[in-house]
Amino acid sequence: MNWWQALILGIIEGLTEYLPVSSTGHLIVAQRMMLGDLTGQEKAAADCFAICVQGGAIAAVLGLYWPRVRQMILGLLGKDREGLHLIFAIVAGFLPAAVIGILANDWIEEKLFHFKWVAWAWLVGGIAILVVDRWMKKGGGSKGVELAEITLKMALVIGFAQCVAMWPGTSRSLMTILGGILVGLRLGAAVEFSFLLGLVTLGAATAKKAVWPVHDIAEKYDHKLGGALLMWDSYGLIPLLIGVIAATVSAAIAVKWMVGYLNRRGLGVFGWYRIAIAIVAAAMIATDFLGLGQG
């Protein structure tokens, strides 16, 4: 992986991680276009890189939402009741993904990590966004509650909604934001909870990918190396640093823009965008563009 490839992948990760458009889907396309149809050790290293640059997106949200993170830390220390309540809510929201992710991860990677399923997820998610956006513009969800009023039941429902995003192309942000709106959170509160829940979910996914032994690749790596060591052996330190820094900067820009845009215009533009790229994806599959229709 060249430095400019790491830069582009980091920018794509940062821009798309917290927007409801699916970072995984965009990265699958970008990796195939730049790196080709990878197999074995090369594919495992590239997949790990795509997960580990999420660390940059995590860092961006930590910085932008530090006052809220600080409140939760104080809550953990027994100095802020609202912060402690929010911690319990985030734990409740994370539990479904933790359990289902462990049980279904291998099946998901085998069955759903193919471009045709990403394309379908883009289309279905786009239609869902337009339906919810129209409902909201007609007054639906106008009396949503603030984040401080979230209940553990509401958080658990959002957590199960997040599990749907294990289907590549769906978007974790999409499912948690829509889940938050539908259980009664105000749009801004749903977005903030989505970002905060993402700190835990993405952090856990990044840590797991970095240390878990890599299977189904070259024999000398099988059951021995965690993803981070494999990636280090394949790419070295510089591409990872470039990718993480690029993801941090681009994620900060995307999050700031998204929050302001949603407050003014709503979700609709993301629905139309997803439908548009689903149509482009369908064309790629039909023409077997760069072999994308095969995986």
- pLDDT tens, residue by residue, 205-244: 887 766 665 554 444 444 455 556 666 667 778 888 999 9
Region 80-84 average pLDDT: 96
Percent of the chain's residues with pLDDT above 90: 54
Q: Which of 80, 88, 68, 91 is nearest to 188 (CA)?
A: 68
Q: What is the pLDDT of residue 171?
A: 92
**pTM of the predicted structure, to 2 decimals:** 0.86
- 293 pLDDT band (50/70/90 cuts)? low
> What gap in Å lies between CA 259 and CA 20, rounded to an integer?
12
- pLDDT tens, residue by residue, 216-225: 444 444 445 5
Q: What is the pLDDT of residue 222?
A: 47
Question: What does each C-alpha distance from 95 to 100, 148, 159, 175, 230 come to in angstroms?
Answer: 9, 20, 7, 15, 29
> What gap in Å lies between CA 70 and CA 183, rounded to an integer?
26
Answer whether 24's CB lies under 8 Å from 12's CB. no
- pLDDT tens, residue by residue, 13-30: 999 999 999 888 898 888
Q: What is the pLDDT of residue 217?
A: 46
Answer whether 87's CB lies under 8 Å from 46's CB. no
- Amino acid at residue number 225: L
List the chain domain ranges: 3-294
- Amino acid at residue number 93: G
Please, which residues bridge with residue 145 across strands?
185
In the predicted structure, residue 191 carries a pLDDT above the cut 90:
yes
- 50 pLDDT band (50/70/90 cuts)? confident
In the predicted structure, residue 47 carries a pLDDT above the cut 80:
no
- Spell out a b/e string for 174-211, using b for 16 or more CB atoms within 10 Å of the CB, else e: bbbbbbbbbbbbbbebbbbbbbbbbbbbbeebbeebbe
Q: What is the pLDDT of residue 104?
A: 80
Q: What is the pLDDT of residue 219?
A: 45
Region 138-145 average pLDDT: 79
How many Cβ atoms are within 10 Å of 91's Cβ, its own excluded?
16
- 249 pLDDT band (50/70/90 cuts)? very high
- Amino acid at residue number 230: L
- Burial environment of residue 244 by CB neighbours within 10 A (0 to 12, 13 to 18, 19 or more): buried
